[in-house]
């Protein structure tokens, strides 16, 4: 059967992408691992690979198309021996991603599937495992990652083929979900549970909650028609169409009503520029962070003279890698997090937090149109030379849009350094779900008092932004004091 190629979710925050370029044309033979397209995501332009073999039967979204929703069908792949007419029978445009419910839909509600939806894979996706069991490439990939034996999984696809929902059911010990024409593969994260005015939970599908949030619909006034009274997509559609009083004016990410663009006036030399996908996501995430995360800030001055002396000696001793002040800061943060593990956490929501056992330091890197935060993994286990080499490689590939997904997703702590621009001090916005970010200013000569005398010293101001939901003031202060101690006594980081 034909296979639908979907717009992949290449990052947790991605809801749409721009189809920058096709690397294949209709009639081309592709194999697993072949690069088929370039997608501009909220982070960078990334290559995507095919995770199946076949012939490109139809391209449904032209290159250069902007704002293609995640999970929309962008092309059709034909299996060996399949006639090209199968692609012509496919819909010219794809329906939006189906809603997911906690209970399988009734059998008479499950649509018949003519093609299995398979997302294009990011370049870093592992190859599918081999085996005699008839299974889709996506099902094989998920089974490999989860350690599921495909031989013990009953397939619900055509001719008993094992598909994604079968593997997921085996992982949870439940029955396979009713097969549908598309697969819900969104990686953008779960929406919070819906509640009514009294705080009682409302049972609604994720798609219904997302639609309600975008349209300003109060789910407390919507009657569900799904199983056990669950609110589903058609209920929200009806509420929007009815124009009833339960439909509120939609709000923007900042909590204010949408603002109409101001009409041009005579003599006005300004212009309105459309935000890039990356810029829109940055705007949304920063607004959510400042409005939903209770920030508090701690500031300390760090003397750099000893650090600069050791840095000079290390760089003089070898020439292949030049160690920067930022490399020392990354290492100091990693050592500080190991010393104060209560600060090496992330807020998970719904009464949970995640505690990290390594210091995975996300470092803000400016790229055209925005920024990205590649991660130095387990920085507490690396020396200055290795950290410097890692950062040079990550920053170069970040600016070229060549980072793999796992190289910029995750992380337990962030560092943002604007010292190279001469900025003395600033307060950075936390990157959820992380709980802390260190803002690093410029090192400059300042007068300091030592032994009762005023003497010059190179001083750098550091400000720690902290999420008060999971890290208290005393813990944040302990962490910043530890970072300061390592920066001012860099020999401690050599032990």
Whether the CA torsion 8, 13, 18, 22 is positive or negative: it is negative
Say whether 457 sits in a helix, a strand or coil: strand
On the question of a cis peptide bond just before residue 463, with omega within 30 degrees of 0, the verdict is no
Of 23, 295, 357, 468, the catalytic one is 468
Whether the CA torsion 7, 12, 14, 20 is positive or negative: it is negative
Of 399, 398, 444, nearest in space to 420 by CA: 444
Q: How is 103-161 classified by DSSP, letter by letter?
A: SPPPGGGSPPPSSEEEEPEETTPPPPPP-SS-B-HHHHHHHHHHT--GGGPPP-SGGG-
Note whether 407 and 394 are within 8 A (CB). Answer: yes
Please state the φ and ψ torsions of residue 367, each to the nearest 5 degrees: -130, 165
Give 153-158's long-range contacts (Cβ < 8 A, gap of 24+): 157/113, 157/116, 158/1, 158/113, 158/116
295 is known as an active-site residue? no
Q: How is 57-116 classified by DSSP, letter by letter?
A: EEE-S-TTEEEEETT-EEEEEEPTT--THHHHTS-SSPPPPPP--SSPPPGGGSPPPSSE
Please list the active-site residues.
Answer: 468
């Amino acid at each position: 059967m034909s296979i639908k190629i979907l717009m992949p979710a290449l990052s947790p925050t991605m809801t749409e992408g721009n189809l920058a370029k096709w690397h294949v044309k209709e009639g081309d033979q592709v194999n697993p691992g072949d690069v088929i397209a370039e997608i501009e995501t909220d982070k960078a332009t990334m290559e995507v690979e095919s995770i199946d073999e076949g012939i490109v039967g139809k391209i449904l979204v032209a290159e250069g198309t902007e704002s293609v929703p995640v999970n929309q069908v962008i092309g059709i792949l034909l299996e060996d021996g399949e006639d090209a007419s199968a692609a012509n029978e496919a819909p010219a445009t794809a329906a939006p991603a189906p809603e997911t419910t906690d209970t399988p839909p009734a059998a008479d509600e499950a649509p018949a599937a003519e093609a299995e939806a398979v997302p294009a894979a990011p370049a870093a996706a592992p190859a599918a495992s081999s085996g005699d069991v008839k299974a889709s490439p996506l099902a094989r990939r998920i089974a490999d990652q989860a350690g599921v034996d495909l031989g013990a999984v009953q397939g619900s696809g055509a001719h008993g083929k094992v598909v994604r929902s079968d593997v997921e059911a085996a992982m949870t010990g439940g029955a396979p979900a009713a097969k549908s024409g598309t697969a819900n593969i969104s990686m953008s994260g779960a929406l919070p549970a819906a509640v009514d005015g009294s705080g009682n939970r409302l049972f609604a599908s994720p798609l219904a909650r997302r639609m309600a949030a975008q349209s300003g619909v109060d789910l407390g006034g919507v009657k569900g028609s799904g199983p056990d009274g669950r609110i589903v997509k058609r209920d929200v559609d009806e509420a929007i169409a009815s124009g009833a009083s339960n439909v509120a004016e939609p709000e923007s990410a900042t909590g204010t009503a949408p603002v109409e663009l101001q009409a041009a006036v005579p003599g006005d030399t300004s212009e309105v520029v459309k935000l890039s996908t990356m810029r829109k996501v940055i705007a949304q995430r920063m607004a959510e962070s400042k409005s939903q995360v209770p920030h508090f800030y701690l500031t300390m001055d760090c003397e750099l003279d000893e650090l600069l002396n050791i840095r000079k000696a290390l760089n003089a001793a070898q020439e292949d890698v030049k160690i920067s002040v930022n490399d020392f800061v990354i290492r100091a943060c990693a050592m500080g997090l190991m010393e104060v593990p209560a600060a090496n956490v992330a807020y998970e929501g719904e009464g949970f937090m995640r505690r990290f056992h390594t210091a995975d330091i996300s470092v803000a890197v400016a790229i055209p149109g925005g920024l990205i935060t590649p991660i130095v993994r387990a920085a507490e286990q690396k020396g200055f030379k290795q950290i410097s080499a890692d950062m040079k490689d990550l920053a170069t590939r970040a600016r070229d849009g060549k980072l793999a997904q796992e190289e910029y997703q995750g992380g337990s702590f962030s560092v943002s350094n604007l010292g190279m621009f001469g900025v003395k001090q600033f307060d950075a916005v936390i990157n959820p779900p992380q709980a802390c970010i260190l803002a690093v200013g410029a090192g400059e000569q300042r007068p300091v008092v030592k032994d009762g005398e005023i003497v010059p010293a190179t001083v750098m101001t550091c400000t720690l932004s902290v999420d008060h939901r999971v890290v208290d003031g005393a813990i944040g202060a302990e962490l910043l004091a530890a970072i300061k101690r390592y920066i001012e006594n860099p020999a401690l980081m050599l032990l």
